[in-house]
Structure 1
């Protein structure tokens, strides 16, 4: 497949790498096998790290938005996830979660698309949740990101859903609002049956860039070093979601790298 990219879609190459980073902590205490108190300590430590390295944003579950508001400096944005990680909740529940997150002070909301419904052909449901979820965010001057969960999709499905989200946004909100709407690759929590990469790869991110622009693009899942982050940025990715932000910004190799094909 031949990919054609347009310079107008490329993010600025002159920005510091930290300006692309959504530093992420999304494990529950049980997933991390630590206490709730220790989870809060982890998030405070991440916020302090973000203050030091000037990350674009810190991404946490909604429960910890208030904690971030107390610890982050104002120049670092607060992000949270909606209907995470499976995306199967009814649209009204997604909207309730979004409203609560907005009221708590989140700047950016990453919704999980109901990718199971999409795979089953329920396009009307996808249109409804993307339209209504985007509307509540734009109405409140928030950025919205739509997680399509690439590891659950074929290449053809990645193309179709990327184009679908783009068309929904253009039809309902116009090109002027595309700067505040992202298509995002992954939750990082999807379990593949054959141990294949469950996050961003060069192949799937190129498919999203080619088919979702002029929407913004966020690569997430398995990005653990500076070189990989730069590869994604070089062909049009606008934001990097990572739990290894410090390694990326300090250009240190992460010893826990996954065996991902980049």
Structure 2
């Protein structure tokens, strides 16, 4: 099975996180972009400040690889205004997909109106600009009940406020890949988590991000019903190798 069109090849480390200078980190981003172009992956997922450079590289290569970026990453605690400002700049810079971090802490604290407001307004912004919107719910920060409830909340908001033709462009996404867990527990997509998300987000699509490190794991996620897989080891996965990365 050719899984390339399921893969969002991902590099989201800052220079500090990578232990690199800004110039060195940009070189890594460029390597990821070139690889995505060469391998014909669905999308390259990078930080907002790298969207312009990435768009230039893809245009120069006459490639169909799409560009995704993260909004309010990785904690999702910013105001609606900040989220929308970041999204507006990403769109202006040439992003195709906007991966918003949901304010999952507000959700856990039962501040549901705040969460509904940001989901509704940011989703509307993305769809009105003909972009794919993904909502990162950070499953490692949630218990099973919260995963089910937040997935269903996003689904119900989209169904209630947008046309059916838009459903395929609003994803529920598992993880940022940057959440720190206790005792080195998984911080991304697991089979039980993805099953809960797929069952409760449908008909919205699900993106499995974090923890998919082999071709077999990717195939399993696809069979469970995910439409995208976020990974920093996309090439290793398609080549049947085991990735040495957590995301």
Per the normalisation by structure 1, the TM-score is: 0.91
User: Secondary structure of the equivalent of 1:194?
Assistant: helix
The CA deviation at 1:74 is 3.3
Counterparts of residues 1-262 of structure 1 (less than 5 Å):
16-72=2-58, 73-254=62-243, 256=244
User: Secondary structure of the equivalent of 2:183?
Assistant: coil
Superposed CA deviations along residues 88-143 of structure 1, whole A, max 9, x for unmatched, are 00011100100110011000000000000000001101110000000010000000
| 2-structure distance, mates of 1:158, 1:222 | 17
Higher relative contact order (CA 8 A, sep 6+): 1
Task: Give 5+ residue unaligned stretches, structure 2.
Answer: none
Superposed CA deviations along residues 31-90 of structure 1, whole A, max 9, x for unmatched, are 000011111111111111111110000000000001101112430000000000000000
| 2-structure distance, mates of 1:42, 1:225 | 22
| 2-structure distance, mates of 1:219, 1:232 | 7
| 1-structure distance, mates of 2:156, 2:164 | 10
The CA deviation at 1:253 is 2.1
Task: Give 5+ residue unaligned stretches, structure 1.
Answer: 1-13
| 1-structure distance, mates of 2:209, 2:99 | 11
The CA deviation at 1:174 is 2.6
| 1-structure distance, mates of 2:198, 2:205 | 8
Report runs of 4+ in structure 1 exceeding 6 Å deviation.
Answer: none
| 2-structure distance, mates of 1:244, 1:236 | 21
Residue pair 1:53, 1:249 contacting (<8 A) in 2 also: no
| 2-structure distance, mates of 1:130, 1:191 | 24
How many equivalent residue pairs?
244
Per the normalisation by structure 2, the TM-score is: 0.96
| 1-structure distance, mates of 2:163, 2:117 | 17
| 1-structure distance, mates of 2:182, 2:79 | 26
